[in-house]
Amino acid sequence: MTPLRQQMISQMKAHRFAGRTQQAYLSAVSGLANYYQRSPDAINGQEVQRYLLYLIEQRELSWSTCNQVCQGLRFFYHKTLQQPQEGFSIPQARQPQRLPEILSQEEIQRLLAAAHDFKHHCFLMTVYSAGLRVSEAVCLTPGDIDGERLTLRVEQGKGRQDRYTVLSPRLLEALRRYWRSCRPEHWLFTNRRGDEPMSIGSAQKIFYAAKRRAGLHKRGGIHSLRHAFATHLLEAGVDLHTIQTLLGHRHIGTTMRYLHLSRGQLLKQGSPLELLSFPEPQ
């Protein structure tokens, strides 16, 4: 490991970046260095911007991927190399705003029924029932389950924050049955060897396999279960502040986007056409 790489890792740890963020930022710098076949500290700003243009136009990477590369390079040049920001500008691509396609309650039922492995069934139930991020679900431990208070503890979620979310009695019963059969020790959902938590990649594969067997064609990965959790609660009459707390959002504005996804909210507003009075043509 080069001293420059070690320095960047130390600084990211000091900023308390999550492990996945650290890996993404290191990959961004490695990609730049491999492209020019030079040490990244010998690459100037114009060359960086040409590299970003290459990612967008020739490799046709998604906006979100290019944005993450931008953020990683910004950190490296502005923090690790301490180059002044006013003298080094990396344009950040704006990601098109697309509303996710929300799975209906009937589609959630089909998805869960299609997860034939009981462990996979319990995992998908947990993600939906508690509105978890996949990174939060794979890190759950048996000690996070509070059957008396019907709460699920999420430790060090996004933003390094702990929170509690709801624990469905139906989910609790399924998890007790799962624990009796599998006896997980440290991690609630482990890898096949049982010595580490389930990987995020494995969790996505479980979701897509169940989605395919259920015959669901809406866009979205396992995070769509979290979207469905929030939208279904909103449609059931739960207030936004409660949903914000359960999801662990810092800002209510992040939660408010579910107003645009709720069918109940859309139907309640109605169309202004209903307010008009005019004769029908003969």
Catalytic residue among 158, 164, 213, 257: 158
Q: Which of 79, 153, 223, 257 is catalytic?
A: 223
For a pLDDT cut of 70, what percent of the chain falls above it? 85
**Active-site hit among 211, 226, 227, 232:** 226
pLDDT tens across 73-82, in order?
989 998 898 8
**pLDDT surpasses 90 at 92:** no
Strand partners, 152: 145, 165
- pLDDT one-digit tens code per residue, 158-206: 656 788 999 999 999 999 999 998 888 889 999 888 888 999 999 999 9
Among the listed residues 133, 163, 227, 232, the single catalytic one is 133
Residue ranges of the chain that CATH labels 1.10.443.10:
105-267
Who has greater pLDDT, 208 or 60? 208
Per-residue pLDDT at 192: 86
110 catalytic? Reply is no
What percentage of the chain carries pLDDT values higher than 90? 45
Q: Regarding the domain with residue range 105-267, which homologous superfamily does it belong to in the CATH classification?
A: Intergrase catalytic core (1.10.443.10)
Alpha helices, DSSP H, located in the chain: 3-14, 19-36, 45-57, 63-75, 105-114, 118-130, 134-137, 169-182, 200-214, 223-235, 240-247, 252-256, 263-269
- The model's confidence at residue 249, banded by pLDDT at 50, 70 and 90, is confident
Q: Is 263 a catalytic residue?
A: no
pLDDT score, position 281: 66
Strand, helix or coil at 203? helix
CB neighbour list of residue 135: distance below 8 Å, 6 or more residues apart: 18, 20, 157, 158, 200
* pLDDT at residue 282 is higher than 70: no
258 is catalytic: yes
pLDDT for 233 beyond 80? yes
Q: Is the dihedral of CA 189, 192, 195, 196 positive or negative?
A: negative
More confident residue, 138 or 268: 138
Candidate from 100-104, 107-111, 146-150, 187-191 with smallest mean pLDDT: 100-104
Q: Mean per-residue pLDDT for 121-130?
A: 94
Domain with CATH 1.10.150.130 in the chain: 3-87
- Whether 94 has a pLDDT exceeding 90, the answer reads no
pLDDT for res 1: 75
Q: With a cut of 80, say whether residue 35 has pLDDT above it.
A: yes
The predicted structure's pLDDT at residue 203:
95
Q: What is the distance between the alpha carbons of residues 27 and 46, in angstroms, rounded to a whole number?
A: 20
Q: Which residue has the higher pLDDT, 64 or 150?
A: 150
Check residues 251 and 37 and name the one with the higher pLDDT: 37
* pLDDT 10s digits, 45-56: 888 888 988 888
128 is annotated as an active-site residue: no
User: What CATH number should be reported for the domain whose range is 3-87?
Assistant: 1.10.150.130
Phi/psi at 39 (5° precision): -65, 140
- pLDDT for 137 beyond 70: yes
Q: Which residues on neighbouring strands pair with residue 157, listed in sequence order?
A: 161
Q: Tell whether the model's pLDDT for residue 270 goes beyond 70.
A: no
CA 141 – CA 155 distance, rounded (Å): 10
